[in-house]
Structure 1
């Protein structure tokens, strides 16, 4: 019993700091210490600058023999496609036509770039950051393509702009950060000490600033107004998807760091980018916001419980 309690406390030490920053952001917004202008500017800084720097430095310092896991990358891509198709089938069966696109996207598109990376860093340190940073390339590619496919099937004129998708992926700052870092890691190139130190200062802002921004965007009013559809999508995202995807990963032999990073990425709450895409395509952005809020609040419990059970079973 004492060992189990110690393991649970160790699990809380991994997850609580991450979600504490999210709730801090929510509190700061309610107190008026941060506002929408700050959140917009800070989010842009994270996306365009500090997070690519964080990913770049984590890969530059990585041993690619340990951080680059082709099997893990392939499994994440296949599992994402598989769960996406299952969710779409479920939505055709259970969800009204006019809100089907928002529900499917909200149920599969996770906030891996912030919550997933933050938890991977807490759980595995620099190795988790490096593995997660490389995996982000697959995340960005698959999430953007599948989101546009399902949303364009139900919103707008029904046509998919593949050129716009490709342009968005190629110019994504995180993709550029990963691509820029790979030669440094592969050939063991060294950055000048002053540049690496300055980059560290800049990159260390990423996770706390990004998590505070997530908290600042949560709306308790939207949560109170949340309907059954938003709750259904959130339950799929936070329970069904990580449970199915992680179970298949275990059956295929994934263990340790690989399994832990995969679980954290599959278990991440719905990404804020889903709201942006739905709004841009003229969909039900209130529903998208509700899914983000509910899944983010659920994540504090579901991810903590998931990590605890994986550790208890000796799988990670």
Structure 2
């Protein structure tokens, strides 16, 4: 993971991955590889087998509890612009670009299928929550309706719905089609890592070690630890426990920098946190997967 992320950063530095080419890679990962991975993970599964009431409750508890903890930790600290970013980046996980591809590359099909459902459910909650937090703290005049409309047309959610629908109806997917989609899905992790590496920027003048460390501690340490406690307490099955803990152990999503740019917040601080949590999570995820595996 670290090698591919650094390769993406290096290719951007020498001009190979400029904005146009990085945009094309992002589109390939987001609109082709990731939806293919999600569909192949869920098209032969039943919704009831993947999503239990305990798992659903646990996902919501972990997400909102981490957001509330971030609010308490960061309240009345720094400027509004920096505080809003610190809160958002303490809970907003990189579930699509890193979480699901990493789970698919590491665990079996059952865990991957559950991780796909987790991606869909948590995305439906964390994206609107992030928009509300940024708008509320910054008193931003943003087009919230347009941002929320984009959620409804999200290809990740569309592929999840399609895969679960095929699984519930019992439609047979031809083996050649399944094999082709499986091959495309295998590209999700390397493409995502390259794009993340090409998108990372370190703005040294904006470095605030204390603020960034608090975000890192909440995102890649407190959140997966809380997930492990909550899912264990609720008694979810081992596959769901594994998928949930690893997905919540992912770094801050790159999209939080995009939302900060569009809606309001400290852009330099947002970019720094994405960079640091991504690099730090490579080590933390190795430990987490070893423990949970």
Normalising by structure 1, we get a TM-score of 0.84
Match of 1:122 in 2: 105
Match of 1:92 in 2: 75
| 1:306 correspondence with 2:285 | no
Match of 1:245 in 2: 227
Quote how far apart the aligned CAs of 1:65 are.
Answer: 5.3
Equivalent residues, number: 292
Aligned mates of 1:269, 1:119 — CA distance in 2: 12
| 1:52 correspondence with 2:35 | yes
- 1:4-61 deviations in whole A, cap 9, x for unaligned? xxxxxxxxxxxxxx34322332233334432222111111222222211221121113
- 1:156-215 deviations in whole A, cap 9, x for unaligned? 536783x43542221111111111111211122112344333333333322211111111
Match of 1:226 in 2: 207
Aligned mates of 1:201, 1:246 — CA distance in 2: 32
SS at match of 1:271: coil
Aligned mates of 1:248, 1:193 — CA distance in 2: 39
Match of 2:146 in 1: 164
Aligned mates of 2:258, 2:24 — CA distance in 1: 15
Unaligned runs of 5+ in 2: none
Structure 1 pair 205/250, CA: closer, same or farther in 2 (3 Å)?
same
Instruction: Point out the more displaced range, 47-56 or 144-153.
Output: 47-56
**Is 2:216–2:273's contact at 8 Å kept on the other side of the alignment?**
yes
| 1:175 correspondence with 2:157 | yes
Quote how far apart the aligned CAs of 1:223 are.
Answer: 6.0
| 1:276 correspondence with 2:279 | no
Unaligned runs of 5+ in 1: 1-17, 312-316
Structure 1 pair 217/96, CA: closer, same or farther in 2 (3 Å)?
same
| 1:286 correspondence with 2:268 | yes
SS at match of 2:108: helix
Quote how far apart the aligned CAs of 1:253 are.
Answer: 2.6
**Is 2:112–2:243's contact at 8 Å kept on the other side of the alignment?**
no
SS at match of 2:93: coil
Structure 1 pair 49/309, CA: closer, same or farther in 2 (3 Å)?
closer
**Is 2:85–2:134's contact at 8 Å kept on the other side of the alignment?**
yes
| 1:204 correspondence with 2:189 | no
**Is 2:102–2:189's contact at 8 Å kept on the other side of the alignment?**
no
Instruction: Point out the more displaced range, 201-210 or 286-295.
Output: 201-210
Structure 1 pair 55/286, CA: closer, same or farther in 2 (3 Å)?
same
Instruction: Point out the more displaced range, 131-140 or 165-174.
Output: 165-174
- 1:83-127 deviations in whole A, cap 9, x for unaligned? 111211222144433321111111110101121112211332222
Aligned mates of 2:9, 2:207 — CA distance in 1: 18
Structure 1 pair 194/242, CA: closer, same or farther in 2 (3 Å)?
closer
SS at match of 1:287: helix
Aligned mates of 2:97, 2:142 — CA distance in 1: 30
